[in-house]
Amino acid sequence: MTLGQFVGCAENLQITRPRLRVVYAFCVLCVGFLSGCGSRHTAASRPEPAQPEAETSNNAGQPSESDRGSGPTTRAPTTKGAATSGKRDIPAPNPAMAAYTEQGNASWYGIPFDGRRASNGEIYDMHKLTAAHRTLPFDTVVRVTNLTNGKSTVVRITDRGPFVDNRIIDLSMAAAREIDSVGPGVVPVRLEILSAGIDPTSGFFTVQVGAFRERGNAERLRERLNAEYSPIFIQPYDSPDGLFYRVRVGKVPGEDAAQHFGEQLRNREGIKPIVVRLDDGGGSGRNQ
């Protein structure tokens, strides 16, 4: 309503002009107050915008089924000031693991080795996640992946072997079950070092050139090679199948040099060399 319309209505009601201005001002204030209340009520009843759902962690830090027996999960360090989220932690890369991978055939061993002393001096328990390797240092933790089915297990090296040319690791029965290799017996695998600070190629190595049931045969081989190679030594090994005499040649620093020396023996002497780490002390296991 305009001021002229309001004045016309007021004159019909016989209201004087001074009073008319007071009444008009009061009406304007009332209309403004009601308009403001109506606006606030509309804003309060408007639905709020939907809030983004917070990210939730997916069992962050929990070891996977294949990591049993490997100890705490290694996590990547958090960068100061970096944004964090609830996503699964990414394991920190291990330089040793990146530097060492090996592929070949894996076998497994149980009875009658169960309960006998392993090469590191421990009593072998086929129900624990352990393995035998010819060159890796004792207590090295290794992930073994079955390349036929992708299943993996984590084992600790406690023994020496296998002393067969076409195999690279002997798993305990428990480890073989985890990757479904008990039935097949021998499966293709990939090895990755998980232990930090392990240099698998350092240390001293020797080359096994033969294993005989009769000591006389071992002695003859030693005599034949003794003219050109030194040192040569015979190590008796009391296996579950009887006593064997192993002939080993050399004490070579570094695995690469030992592998090269083994190839020389193969080419010159027509033998099948097996490079083995020389361990200090230890028990009467398969490396003794």
* Full residue range of the structural domain in which residue 178 is found: 95-193
Residue at 40 is within a domain? no
- Same structural domain for residues 120 and 181? yes
- Same structural domain for residues 165 and 214? no
- Same structural domain for residues 122 and 170? yes
- Same structural domain for residues 159 and 105? yes
- Same structural domain for residues 186 and 211? no
- Same structural domain for residues 107 and 187? yes
Distances (CA, A) of 270 to 48, 236, 273: 84, 23, 9
Domain end (from 193, 215, 230): 193
- Same structural domain for residues 105 and 144? yes
Residue at 34 is within a domain? no
CATH of the domain at 253: 3.30.70.1070
Domain count within the chain? 3
3-state SS assignment for residue 266 = helix
Residue at 81 is within a domain? no
- Same structural domain for residues 105 and 178? yes
Token pair recorded at residue 55: 């990210």
pLDDT the model gives residue 17: 52
Residue at 242 is within a domain? yes
- Same structural domain for residues 118 and 185? yes
- Using DSSP bridges, classify how beta strands 130-132 and 152-159 pair: parallel, antiparallel or unpaired: parallel
Q: Which residues contact 284 (CB under 8 A, 6 or more apart)?
A: 117, 238
Strands (E), the chain: 101-109, 130-132, 141-146, 152-159, 169-172, 187-193, 204-212, 232-239, 242-253, 274-277
Specify the amino acid at residue 50.
A
pLDDT the model gives residue 82: 33
- Same structural domain for residues 184 and 239? no
Q: Structure pTM?
A: 0.65
pLDDT the model gives residue 4: 52
- Same structural domain for residues 150 and 108? yes
- pLDDT tens for the chain, residues 1 to 288: 554 554 454 444 444 555 545 445 554 444 444 444 443 333 333 333 332 222 222 332 222 222 323 333 222 333 333 333 333 333 344 444 456 899 999 999 999 999 999 999 999 999 999 999 999 999 999 999 999 999 999 999 999 999 988 999 999 999 999 999 999 999 999 999 999 999 999 999 999 999 999 999 999 999 999 999 999 999 999 988 899 999 999 999 999 999 999 999 999 999 999 999 999 754 455 655
Residue at 250 is within a domain? yes
Residue at 16 is within a domain? yes
CATH of the domain at 104: 2.40.40.10
3-state SS assignment for residue 56 = coil
Of 133, 96, 128, give the one whose Cα is nearest residue 115. 128
Residue at 72 is within a domain? no
Residue at 268 is within a domain? yes
- Same structural domain for residues 186 and 218? no
